[in-house]
Amino acid sequence: MDLLKKRIVEDGTVLPGNVLKVDNFLNHQVDSQLMDKIGVEFARLFKNEKITKVVTVESSGIAPALTTAIHLGVPLIFARKHKSLTLTDNLYTASVYSYTKQVSNDISVDKRFLNAGDRILIIDDFLANGQAVQGLLEIAKLANVSVAGIGIVIEKSFQKGHTLIEKSGVRLESLARIASLSDGKVTFVD
Answer yes or no whether residue 63 interacts with ligand 5GP by CB under 6 A. no
Rounded to a whole number of angstroms, the minimum distance from the CB of residue 63 to ligand 5GP is: 12
Contacting residue, 129, 146, 168, 180, with ligand 5GP by CB under 6 A: 129
Contacts of 96 (CB under 8 A, 6+ apart): 57, 104, 105, 106, 107, 131, 132, 134, 135
Strand partners, 76: 54
Rounded to a whole number of angstroms, the minimum distance from the CB of residue 50 to ligand 5GP is: 26
What is the contact mask toward ligand 5GP in residues 131 to 150, using x (rule: CB under 6 A)?
Answer: xx------------------
The burial class, CB within 10 Å (0-12 / 13-18 / 19+), for 17 is exposed
Answer yes or no whether residue 60 interacts with ligand 5GP by CB under 6 A. yes
Judge contact between 128 and 99, C-beta under 8 A. Answer: yes
- Give the interface with ligand 5GP as residue ranges (CB under 6 A): 19-22, 27, 60, 99-100, 124-132, 161
